[in-house]
Amino acid sequence: MVTNASDATATDATSTASTASASTGDGAAARPRERTPGGVITDEGIARLRARIGIPEPHTAPPHYLRPGTDTFRIVARCYGDDNPLWCDPDHATASVWGGPIAPPPLVGGDTLIGEDEVTRVPDELRDLMKGDPLRGVHAFYSAASREWWAPLRPNLRVRRRNALVGVFDKKSEFAGRAVHEWLGQVFMDETGTPLCGQYRLMVRTERTRSRERGKYSKIEIRPYTDEQIAEIEAQYAAEPGMRRGAEPRYWEDVQVGDPVGPMVKGPLTVTDMVCWHVGMGMGLYGVAALRLGAQNRGRIPNFYFRDELNVPDVHQRVHWDTELAKKIGNPTTYDYGRMRETWLIHLCTDWMGDDAWLWKLRCEFRRFNYVGDTQWLRGTVVRKYLAEGDRPAVDLEISATNQRGELTTPGTATILLPSRSHGPVRLPDPPGGRGNLQNTLDAIVERFREQEQHEQQEQESAQGQAR
């Protein structure tokens, strides 16, 4: 997948020093990047970036939950509007194939949600290599997210994590010349040595000038809703609990290509929704905190803060709930986090598939803003039915979020393993690199991205040859 970065949106955290770029990424999406006007992508910069692939480095913030239990499962699920009892009700969950509550998929990974770093410092011999940004001054857009889950997280287990750059793709971009796709990876394992999941964030680096951003979103109009429109949304909300598959297995044999998934509605988005989001998800990568703890954090990362009209320091992340600040960077109003819509698409999948199925993979692109006042309609379609590796009954879905203006904001795909009458209960996927060693997992992920890059290069060379 190649994201159209002209429609992708920059992580708010990556634009903290200048607040000059658009954003739908969350504060946990990427570290702040040093910015200078006119940043250029060079062969030397790409080579230095590639030299970092696979080298673990500490995450910049500790996990929000050290030993997540069923209360954590419930709080995180509710923060994105999910009240599935599988996550937190032992009486319900014991009857499932899992034999008890399991964590909702957004919790398993989730940037700063869980995972204590196995690697707590960069070795001295690698510090020069890992210092600074090899593409300093080049814009960074949090463009897409890809996740895979290999095993459920059970209650009250500690989780380990490794973080590394896993892929660097040198690409040509029609709208901005040269571009680099920078894939940042995290892999997670519980204290029993069971690999849980991998998540990968695509940062698209472009040489696009800031001036081309100006006014891009100024003509967007958030119109008031009619009573009839609100009634339609409320009716959909009322219908959704009955649409959740729950304890009734969705057997592979009963699913056909073309079957619809959903719909599900999320919105109209309010600042209250984002407050509830932060209750479950925490404040993200940059350690945003209150009062004295906030002052300490300002000393650690001063460029993440600005002075408001009263000369009071506050976080640039405030663009998500401060209309005037959002307007200063060219938006008509405040807006969501890309991660929010990712969790919403996960919710769409888990409600459809039922308790005894397994969400294996999900990938989505963040193409447009989701403004306060916008409503996202989530839908999906079964596009493939097959036996995955190891004769595991599987289906692929195309999924999407589309706003009330008919704009596709978040396209994606998902792969789900389903129970089968002939093949039996779901068998969990094999984790890359085997069990018990996160470095092996990380190495296997790096190799996968390397093979993907080689494949894309071969396809590009073949297309160029045919064009001649």
Q: What is the pLDDT of residue 220?
A: 87
Q: Give 178's pLDDT tier (boundaries 50, 70, 90).
A: confident
Give the torsion sign (CA, 325, 330, 335, 337). Answer: negative
pLDDT above 90 covers a percentage of the chain that reads 77
CB contact set of 191 (below 8 Å; sequence gap of 6+): 157, 158, 159, 160
> Is 200:183 a contact under the CB 8 Å cutoff?
yes
Q: How is the chain split among helix, strand and coil, in percent rounded to 5?
A: 30, 25, 45
> Is 367:8 a contact under the CB 8 Å cutoff?
yes
Amino acid at 312: V
Fold category of 12-225+259-268+335-467 in CATH: Thiol Ester Dehydrase; Chain A (3.10.129)
In degrees, rounded to 5, the angle at the alpha carbon of residue 266 between the alpha carbons of residues 262 and 270 is: 180
> In this structure, are strands 159-173 and 177-190 parallel, antiparallel, or unpaired?
antiparallel
Q: How confident is the model over 87-140, as pLDDT tens digits? A: 999 999 999 999 999 999 999 998 899 999 999 999 999 999 999 999 988 988
CB contact set of 26 (below 8 Å; sequence gap of 6+): 11, 12, 13, 111, 281, 284, 337, 338, 339, 340
> In the structure encoding, which two tokens stand for residue 165, read together?
């750059």
> In the structure encoding, which two tokens stand for residue 274, read together?
């984002």
Q: How confident is the model over 310-366, as pLDDT tens digits? A: 999 999 999 999 999 999 888 999 999 999 999 999 999 999 999 999 999 999 999
- φ/ψ region of 40 (left if φ > 0, alpha if ψ in -120 to 50, else beta) reads beta
> Is 188:107 a contact under the CB 8 Å cutoff?
no
Q: How confident is the model over 270-311, as pLDDT tens digits? A: 999 999 999 999 998 888 999 999 999 999 999 999 999 999
Q: How confident is the model over 57-96, as pLDDT tens digits? A: 998 888 999 999 999 999 999 999 999 999 999 999 999 9
User: Residue 36: pLDDT above 50?
Assistant: no
Domains of the chain by residue range: 12-225+259-268+335-467
Unique residue bearing structure tokens 């203006």: 405
pTM for the predicted model, two decimal places: 0.91
Q: How confident is the model over 264-274, as pLDDT tens digits? A: 999 999 999 99
